[in-house]
Amino acid sequence: MHMLRRDKKEEEDGGGNPFHNIEKSSVLQEARTFNESPINPRKCAHILTKVLYLINQGEQIGTTEATEAFFAMTKLFQAKDPILRRLVYLGIKEMSKIAQDVIIVTSSLMKDMTGREDQFRGPAIRALCSITDTTMLQSIERYMKQAIVDKVNAVSSAALVSSLHLSKCSQDVTKRWVNEAQEAVSSDNIMVQYHALGLLYHIRKYDRLAVTKLVTKFSKHSLKSPYAYCLLVRLCYCLLEILCFVYFIRTDSPMFDFIENCLRHKSEIVIYEAAHAIVNLKNTSAKELASAVPVLQLFCSSAKPTLRFAAIRTLNKVAMKHPAAVTACNLELENLITDSNRSIATLAITTLLKTGSESSIDRLMKQISSFMNEISDEFKIVVIQAIQSLCSKFPRKHPVLMNFLSSVLRDEGGFEYKKAIVDSIITIIEDNPEAKEAGLAHLCEFIEDCEHTVLATKILHLLGREGPRTPTPSKYIRFIYNRVILENAAVRAATVTALAKFGAHCEELLPSCIVLLERCLLDTDDEVRDRATFYVQTLKQQQKSLKSTYILNGLQVSVVGLERALHHYTMEPTETPFDVKSVPLETAPITDSKQVREPGEAGGQKTEKVAASRQDIYAEQLSSIPEFANLGNLFKSSSLPVQLTESETEYVVQCVKHTFSHYIVFQFDCSNTLNDQVLENVTVHMEPADGFQVLKCVPCASLPYNKPGTTYTLVHLPEDPTLVTGTFSCTLKFIVKDCDPNTGEPDDEGYEDEYVLEDVEVSVADHVQRVMKPNFGVSWEEVGLENELEDTYALSTMKTLEEAVQNIIKFMGMQPCERSDKVPEGKSSHTLYLAGVYRGGHDGLVRAKLALSDAGVTMQLTVRSTDPDVSEVMATAIG
């Protein structure tokens, strides 16, 4: 009776979860019951379930405790009860990573794996593979091979999937199971076939050629399993993307034909997978799309919600890339707006928002507002992202959109959701000067009651940058200063920095900002105090250059580069102070997605890891080549590789330029597309331009068919500081050896040959690194008139201001500031602000005043720099 009542109460508390209030230590205590004999299977099963529940809830169990529980659990092998035994298998898998000496169950599992109980065999294999390390693997190899080809499908599948997991760390052993896996591919069972194909792929996945062969082979086979087809489609997709990425080409390939054929497969998942692959391919042509979109369109009106969901989700993802293809489905999308499944409805509406016309926005926004509260955060984020892209497409709609965003900002929601909203508002503010004040006001209101430190610091950073330049900066001070009183240390530190920026930028606010900052001098947190002290001292100096360098424009170095330079500095004791100019500058991260830039402002609070940029990766690679050990720090790597060959030629070569303070390293990435040749000792011979001097070539020892290789050429820059550009004619030189196309085995004898490449240009942009000056005006004043050069040009080939702006940025290789790369609609004049650092560490700033006239664009170009030569070089870049 007593028990009954307690159960009932528990149920009420835990909303029906019987494990609602179990506790780790008592469960582990209970696990000692496993040691008792005879075993009580029901009781033990219940306790073991609790242990599993705890582990799956993320409860941390210490090694000693886990080992004790594990050994107790091994006693349960004496019970024959099938439920208990299968729980034991699960327990072994879960504890294999936390307990010690888990190999103690090896023989017991091997016995079950080869035993008579079919229902034990598969799970025993899975458990066995989870406790086996590379040293033990040999002893179970024979049994694994047998299991892969076992006639019981569940056993075969378990062995295949376990082998796949094992192959992640024991490639060498699993490689020897290829024959068994081949045999399993021809199984009649769709799962076994799929798993076998998966294993074959995993064994070969690092060898692109082998994967290509695998795919080619099985795309001709008639496989039975739709899952296997899906896997093949995915592999084809990846291979096509790699081809496209490496060679910038996509020829009509049998792999694409295969995907297209799958559009006519009898199984829906295969059809979907094929359509999904085609619309996601980077270089899909309109014609190719035309074959895939109707399939998705059809699925949109399917009776099955999963198909509708899959189709609309795919269309939603590609809506921005292929708007025309998606608008073809508008009728279906309109029908989905009222779909009873809210996820489908949300995706439909946001897809329409992305592709629709300006006039439909109000209607769709109303629709979505009606059920915004009913959908999960994940889909709310989809909505917010759609709104964000709308803002850049229809800038005039920002009042409606901003209103919507500010109202949802007040609603309940998790971090990711709030972050998406804040990011969207920030994007709107940055794109739309007119939306700025309204947006900042919403954000001010939000930080008054914001539980997410990351968001609060981000907004404070934004306020510090944008607030001082609004017509009434003083109104933000109150919101900002409130944070000092109410928030945690990280937010207070960000607040102090924001206040300092107001003081540095606005003369009239300086005295009050200093007063406010002085109140922070006794803060309990070190970081807050240090920042306040630093800013108060700097502001009191009343010097423009100090304010610009240390408060408004900050440090612009690559964090990874700074870390490396500091580490290097500490390795060798030296008297000379650390030179910040030697640190590589911050460059854009590898992802080219359009994201809001956010320099690491809130000290230490950034949750995302600092990503190594493309340049950081190049620097790492170059420094490992002995010939380049003494070149100094890498200053700049050119962003996009330049093609030096036509596509579809025998050899494909592309070039990346790496600029050091006195040298340029030309990196040539080559591939050989002839399967009956191996190239050896491959170099690129460069005919130098005036003043340049070729020092060295680092050859690529061997260039077999389809395996890209790299050769480098090192060039010394001219001594004359104004001589920086030139054209190099290039020739690929190598030794050819004929080889057997099947084995790749080359002949012993080869002959020398060469191949003429396109010229390589070195331009001013190669000597300049982009740098963001958040406050351009202040930097402009700071550098001053000393080395100013000014000239006027007629850019007769440019037809629009936008075109002129894009070209100037490209020529100069500099960073547009103050969002001046965006030309407001309908204007006939525009000023572009560019900032950069010249090789050697001198700042260079450019102001280009552009005016549209009948004869093209006229430009007044003004260059300022801390070095006269730099001004001269930059001023001639356009000419």
**177 in Cβ contact with 145 (< 8 Å):** yes
- Residue 577: asked if its preceding bond is cis (omega within 30°), the reply is no
136 binds another protein (CB under 8 A): yes
Instruction: Assess 633 for contact with another protein (CB under 8 A).
Output: no
- Residue closer to another protein by CB (options 104, 515) is 104
- Looking at residue 290, its amino acid is A
Q: Name which of 235, 218, 304 is nearest 269 in CA terms.
A: 304
Closest Cα to residue 518, out of 548, 541, 539?
539
Q: How many residues sit in the footprint of another protein (CB under 8 A)?
A: 21
Does residue 71 interact with another protein by CB under 8 A? yes
**Least Å from the CB of residue 682 to another protein:** 51
Selected from 24, 52, 65, 77, the binder of another protein by CB under 8 A is 77
Residues 6+ apart with CB under 8 A from 736: 677, 678, 679, 750, 751, 752, 753
Q: Residue 135, interface with another protein (CB under 8 A)?
A: no
- Taking CA atoms, 153 is separated from 110, 122, 159, 189, 519, in Å, by 18, 9, 10, 7, 74
- 117 vs 747, which CB is nearer to another protein? 117
**Based on CB atoms, which residue is closest to another protein, 110 or 269?**
110
Which residue stretch of 68-76, 202-210, 418-426, 859-867 sits at the interface with another protein (rule: CB under 8 A)?
A: 68-76
Q: Which two tokens stand for residue 69?
A: 């529980």
State which of residues 107, 186, 542, 570 lies at the interface with another protein (CB under 8 A): 107
| Residue 491 beta carbon to another protein: minimum distance, rounded to whole angstroms | 52
Residue 699 DSSP SS3: coil
Residue 411 Cβ, how far from another protein at the closest point, in Å?
Answer: 53
What is the distance in angstroms between the CA of the first residue and the CA of the last residue of the chain?
A: 95
* Smallest distance from another protein to CB 166, Å: 17
Residue 11 C-beta: closest distance to another protein, Å = 23
Element (H, E) at 642: strand 642-643
Shortest gap between Cβ of 452 and another protein (angstroms)? 48
Gap between the Cα atoms of 739 and 680, Å rounded: 12
Site for another protein, residues 138 to 177, rule: CB under 8 A: 139
Q: Hey, what are 159's tokens?
A: 């062995």
**Least separation in angstroms between CB 45 and another protein:** 14
d(CA 197, CA 529): 61
Residues 6+ apart with CB under 8 A from 70: 91, 92, 95, 99, 102
In Å, what is the CA distance from 594 to each residue of 380, 392, 535, 590?
20, 12, 33, 11
Q: How far is the CB of 109 from another protein (least distance, A)?
A: 9
Q: Smallest distance from the beta carbon of 49 to another protein, in angstroms? A: 18
By rule CB under 8 A, what string of x and - marks binding of each residue 474-513 to another protein?
----------------------------------------
Residue whose CB is less far from another protein, 105 or 353: 105
Check: CB of residue 333 under 8 Å from CB of residue 354. Answer: no
Task: Choose between 41 and 708: whose C-beta lies nearer to another protein.
Answer: 41
Least distance from another protein to the Cβ atom of residue 105, Å:
6
Q: How far is the CB of 42 from another protein (least distance, A)?
A: 9
Sole window of 75-83, 154-162, 202-210, 262-270 interacting with another protein (rule: CB under 8 A):
75-83
Nearest to 137 by CA among 98, 166, 175: 166
Find the shortest distance in angstroms from Cβ 146 to another protein. Answer: 14
Tell me phi and psi for residue 263, to 5 degrees: -60, -20
d(CA 443, CA 97): 46
Q: Restricting to residues 87-106, name those near another protein by CB under 8 A.
A: 101, 103-106
Which is closer to another protein, CB of 34 or CB of 668? 34
716 CB-contact burial (10 Å; exposed 0-12 / middle 13-18 / buried 19+) = middle
Question: How many alpha carbons lie under 13 Å from residue 25 in its C-beta half-sphere?
Answer: 0
Q: Indicate which single residue of 21, 78, 357, 359 sits in contact with another protein (rule: CB under 8 A).
A: 78
Q: Smaller CB distance to another protein: residue 115 or 691?
A: 115
DSSP state of 611: P
Closest separation between CB of residue 55 and another protein, Å?
20
Task: Please pick, from the candidates 18, 46, 53, 108, the single residue that binds another protein as defined by CB under 8 A.
Answer: 108
Tokens found for residue 553 = 């424009």
Taking CB under 8 A as the rule, which mask of x and - marks residues 13-52 in contact with another protein? Answer: ----------------------xxxx-x------------
To the nearest 10°, the Cα dihedral for 300, 301, 305, 308? 0
Closer to another protein at the Cβ: 40 or 216?
40
Q: Which of 393, 390, 411, 385 is nearest to 401 (CA)?
A: 390
Minimum distance between the CB of residue 483 and another protein, rounded to whole angstroms?
57
Q: What dihedral do alpha carbons 486, 489, 490, 493 form, nearest 10°? A: 90
Looking at the Cβ atoms of 71 and 811, the one nearer to another protein is 71
Nearer to another protein, 33 or 267 (CB): 33
**Is residue 650 close enough to count as binding another protein by CB under 8 A?**
no
> Is the bond preceding 774 in cis, omega lying within 30 degrees of 0?
no
H or E, element range at 423: helix 415-431
Question: What is residue 736's three-state secondary structure?
Answer: strand
- List binders of another protein among 769-828 (CB under 8 A): none
Q: How far is the CB of 101 from another protein (least distance, A)?
A: 6
Strands 709-716 and 693-698: antiparallel
Closer residue to another protein in complex, CB, 110/298? 110
DSSP assignment, residue 657? E
Residue 139 or 649: which CB sits closer to another protein? 139
**What is the SS3 assignment for 222?**
coil
The least CB distance from residue 34 to another protein, in Å, is: 10
Site for another protein in 426-465 (CB under 8 A): none
Site residues (CB under 8 A) for another protein?
35-38, 40, 71, 74-75, 77-78, 101, 103-108, 110-111, 136, 139
